[in-house]
Amino acid sequence: MRHKRASEPENHERWLVSYADFITLLFAFFVVMFASTQSDKLKAKEVSESVREALEHGQFSAAISTVLGRGKHENSRPPANPNRVDHSENLPPKPAPPPQQPADLAKSLDRLQNGLGAELKAGKIGLKLEGRGLIISLREAAFFASGDDSVAPASIPILAKVAAELQASSNPLRLEGYTDAIPIHNSRFRSNWELSTARSIAMLEVLRQRFQIAPERMAVVGYAENAPVDTNETEDGRARNRRVDLVVLSTEGQKAEPEVRSQK
């Protein structure tokens, strides 16, 4: 006669396994939280790695990886090298990009260069395109007598070519007078400030009266011997510094100018 096999006694301590799993996860969580608050990032990383190595090889590797913030794609990343030296701080700063030339004045520059080729070669006039606008330098030797602000009649044909280009646009104009560094004091002008400003005004009047350039487009300023383009130690340098710059303002250059409203 077969005897029934006695049933195994029920294990009432199986809950300890789940409890131990929970305590292990909780321990890992608090270790990671503690490490994340440390100012020493390298030390915090070492603590986190130590916990991961200790727990990852057991049956809770997936749960521990989640607690430690390891995604499924993170294992493919190369390990960080704590001894790596970051040279980015020692690199020289990137040079600032060159200022963009005003596209709206590039064609004007080309036309003036073609129409004033002889004057440019003779040094009577200079042309330069900058961010603030097209600069037309009218040298003293071709447009003024020494120490005087009267525009030379022989320079009118040159101004006619310049005025024809100015009439084709509506850009504001600045007439900037400059002198060399030698002080002036005569019966007409007490300083280079007065001479440089008077020459700017004289050039404005020629453009307004003879060539009908609208006066609301124009403004004058005198810089005297300040902002030279060449040395004041030589005669050639001083001759280049004595000039009136006619600046055709670009869109960017107009931002620094006061708003001009037409009078009614």
Q: What is the pLDDT of residues 94-152, one digit of tens each?
A: 666 555 556 578 999 999 999 999 999 999 999 999 999 999 999 999 999 999 999 99
Domain at 103-256: CATH architecture: 2-Layer Sandwich (3.30)
Provide the pLDDT for residue 106. 92
Per residue in 193-233, pLDDT (tens digit) is 999 999 999 999 999 999 999 999 999 999 999 999 999 99
Query: What residue ranges do the domains of the chain occupy?
Result: 15-78, 103-256
CA distances from 127 to 47, 106, 111, 143, 222 (A): 68, 11, 11, 16, 20
Which are the contacts of 118, defined by CB distance < 8 A and separation ≥ 6? Answer: none
The tokens 């303002």 sit on which residue?
A: 249
CB 221 within 8 A of CB 174: yes
- Is this structure's pTM higher than 0.75? no
